[in-house]
Structure 1
Amino acid sequence: MGQSKKLKNLQSIFKDKAKIIKATFSITNRTTSSIQIAVLRATTRSAQSPPHDHHVSTLLSLGNTTRHSASACISAILHRLHHHHQPNVYVTLKALLILHYMITRGSFSIKEQPLLQPMSNTGFESLNLSRFMDNTDMQSREFAVWAQWYASFLENNLSTSTILGCFLSSSKMEIEKKKEKLKFSLYMDLFKEIEALVLIIEEICKAPNSLNCQTNDIVYEVMRLVGEDYRMIQYHMMIRLTELSERLHNLRTNELTGLTRCLERLEGCKGRLTELFMNRKRNESFWELVSEVISELMRLKKYAEMKSVSRKMIEYASESTELKTSRYFGLLPYGENNYWLTLTR
């Protein structure tokens, strides 16, 4: 079994080298050829470690030049993700890592590529790895589950960024501009953005539990990048909760209920997040704000319900009074034109 695996790895190495040689002597555009070579070198099958920094830097510099190069860069990464010879979990994880680097550190021209935009109501078709599996051995199958989850997380990253109107990893200046616009946002828009942020946090909590995989350098790098995104998610969430906390008194009962349920789902993720990031990114001020908003929502909801009950009691009392009054008076038709005449009993 071990010898068979070594033979497969050797074959994979030769195939990757053959692809690099083919791309080197390709008659296609020189920039496109350079990008293909850079992607192949960054996602080799031979090493079970994340892409080297200089390979990532090379890809970023190539993709950040023009829109054409950005498109070629994303296309090459996605092609590598889906079309490498025989499913290989390490190539898949490395390709997803490279894509994550592009999303977080790439230029505007990279982030705005159509390939990274929603293609349907179900998500980003280019990142659908729900059926991916590497059956080379038990370890490969375990890592394949990580690849499925990581691809799903990146889908959520991109869809959430689309809803927010800016990327999770946007610069401080971009986030501040968005923060100013939030003051004029409708409640439903703010709620939609908060719900999207809760959904991506719930996706983080679905990370596999296989401990032996977590010691791997590739998975460690995956969780490091996801942890950085989680830190930004907290920041985006705090901005919106702070803005919304000033409007809570104007919300209707059904809006109070919907927001409470959403934030209770978020609060339910705290324990799992603490496990995943080993208390490194728990940010107590964030959870204190969430708890305060939930408490205020519960108070306002209770007050609204009591007010509704009081109103119904007043209406009921008023109807009872009218009913009692009607018992002492009768209405009878009177005269040729049937005018109503009130008579006491």
Structure 2
Amino acid sequence: MGRRQRPILKNLLGALKDRASQSKAALLSGPNTSSPHLAVLRATTHDPSSPPREKHVSVLLSFGHGSRLTASCCVEAIMDRLHGTGSSSVALKCLIAIHNIVRRGTFILQDQLSIYPSAGGRNYLNLSNFRDDSSPEAWQVCLWVRWYARVLEQILFSSRILGSFLSSSLFSSFDDGFKETKEEVSALPNGHLLKEFDALVGVVEEICKVPEYAHVRENRVVAEVIRLVGEDNLMAQREILVRAMEMRERLSCLVFSDSVELVCVLKRLENCKEKLLFLSSNEKMKGGDALLDLVGEMKERIGAVEKCGERRLVRKGKVSESARLDSRVVVKSSDLVRFSSGRMELLPDSVM
């Protein structure tokens, strides 16, 4: 009985805190002012049963249509809310808000997100130690908070390398936008292409570390997270496939160090095979099979290229050794001249 009452009491206290915080923010902002702080509070309530409403997310995104200062205040308010809460539900909703900025925000809003904090780095959202032990359910959701933060961190990190946000444009199917992306990728030098390939594989790796879903199957906030990340998985696979196809065309001209690095990245991607196929079972995720088939083909071709290279090196080594033997000067007694001091020297060519 006590366990059943605890979540109810927790939800009631959360609702009271939300109402008090929103009332305070409304008074401070004034009746005719749209406050980023108030908009964030409305989009990130303590209610564990429902994700942020679309109208509240739209209000957050609208701050990207104003000044840079307004957009900065919006991002700062989300980050303050995220790092100031101990509620797993609030934290997940903050991350959903950040994800929507990545996917649908204006350039000015995305720009403010990308430079916050100014140091950046891999641990961008700093939620690796997030804990909520207020209930067994909240403890399970904590796993999703930490995982979702790592996925978003990797997306933000890869976006810096790609020069644009991975989710900045949505496509209805796997093939949409494929040709346009291929044309852009074909102009990249090998080193940068490999760097982008590595960053995108990092996104898929984090997505494939998804926690066990059975314990939170009824949680609608987690369901929204799965939907958003699932679409990112589709786009990451498409971007990887484009770059893998381009790398396949360049295998014969890769330097040895790039070939080694490419094999390492391909192995990392292959290690995600089971989860990748599971996540790609949806019709929209049909690129998973094609991508893994291409990975296997590329590894075989790289192995063949390396073996041919080794044979060439062996043949070259044998030739150079014989050349060194042939080039040695064999000195005969007839080629020597004796000086009065007893010293012997070779006769110059003109004399010989």
Q: Fold-level match, TM-score > 0.5?
A: yes
Post-superposition shift, 1:27? 4.6
Map 1:44-193; keep pairs closer than 5 Å.
Answer: 44-84=45-85, 87-113=86-112, 116=115, 119-120=118-119, 122-125=121-124, 127-171=125-169, 180-193=183-196
Equivalent in 334, 339, 342 of residue 335 of structure 1: 339
CA–CA distance in 2 between the matches of 1:29 and 1:312?
A: 83
Q: Distance in 2 between matches of 1:144 and 1:332?
A: 89
Instruction: Give the direction of change, closer, same or farther, for the CA distance of 1:209–1:5 in structure 2 (3 Å limit).
Output: closer
CA displacement at 1:131 relative to structure 2: 0.8
Write the deviation string for residues 85-120 of structure 1: whole angstroms up to 9, x where unpaired: xx1101111110111011101111111115555743
* Paired amino acid for 1:23: A
Query: Structure 2 counterpart of 1:314, which letter?
Result: V
Matched, 1:224 2:222: no
Q: Displacement of 1:297 after TM fit?
A: 1.8
Q: 1:263 aligns with which of 246, 262, 266?
A: 266
Distance 2:310 2:32 in 1: 69
The verdict on how the C-alpha distance between 1:121 and 1:113 changes in structure 2, with shifts beyond 3 A counting, is closer
Q: More displaced, 94-103 or 202-211?
A: 202-211
**Does the CA-based 8 Å contact 1:142-1:210 persist in structure 2?**
no
1:312 aligned to 2:314?
no
Map of 1:274 onto structure 2: 277
2:44, 2:126 → 1: CA distance? 19
SS, match of residue 28 in structure 2: coil
Deviation at 1:180, TM superposition (A): 4.4
TM-score, structure 1 normalization = 0.86
> Does the C-alpha gap of structure 1 residues 155 and 30 become closer, same or farther in structure 2, counting only changes over 3 Å?
farther
User: Matches of 1:108 and 1:270 in 2, distance apart?
Assistant: 35
Q: Distance in 2 between matches of 1:254 and 1:333?
A: 54
Task: Return the alpha-carbon distance in structure 1 between the equivalents of residues 100 and 183 of structure 2.
Answer: 28
1:333–1:6 distance in 2 versus 1, CA, 3 Å: farther
Partner of 2:214: 211
Query: Any gaps of 5 or more consecutive residues in structure 1?
Result: none
Larger mean CA deviation between 88-97 and 135-144 belongs to 135-144
- Aligned match of 2:305: 300
CA contact (8 A) 1:64 1:106 kept: no
Secondary structure in 2 matching 1:203? helix
Partner of 2:240: 237
Contact 1:334 1:340 in 2 (8 A): no
Equivalent residues of 1:334, 1:341 under 8 A apart: no
Q: 1:69 to 1:177 in 2, by over 3 A?
A: farther
* Structure 2 portions without partners, runs of 5+: none
Question: More displaced, 21-30 or 224-233?
Answer: 21-30
CA apart distance, 1:293: 2.6
Q: What SS does structure 2 have at the residue aligned with 1:339?
A: strand
Q: Deviations over 1:210-269 (max 9, x none)?
A: 521244222221111111111111222223223333322111223222212211221221
CA RMSD between the two structures: 2.9
**Are the aligned partners of 1:13 and 1:44 in contact in 2 as well (CA < 8 Å)?**
yes
Q: 1:263 to 1:117 in 2, by over 3 A?
A: farther
Given candidates 244, 247, 259, the residue that maps to 2:250 is 247
Question: Which amino acid is 2:79 matched to?
Answer: L
Aligned to 1:287: 292
Query: Which amino acid in the other structure matches residue 14 of structure 2?
Result: S
Higher mean alpha-carbon deviation, 259-268 vs 116-125, is at 116-125
Structure 1 residue 40 and structure 2 residue 2: aligned? no
**CA deviation vs aligned residue, 1:119-173 (integer Å, no higher than 9, x gap):** 4374254x11011000112221111011011111101000101101111123489
Amino acid of the structure 2 residue aligned with 1:15:
K
- Measured in 2, the distance between the counterparts of 1:143 and 1:302 equals 49
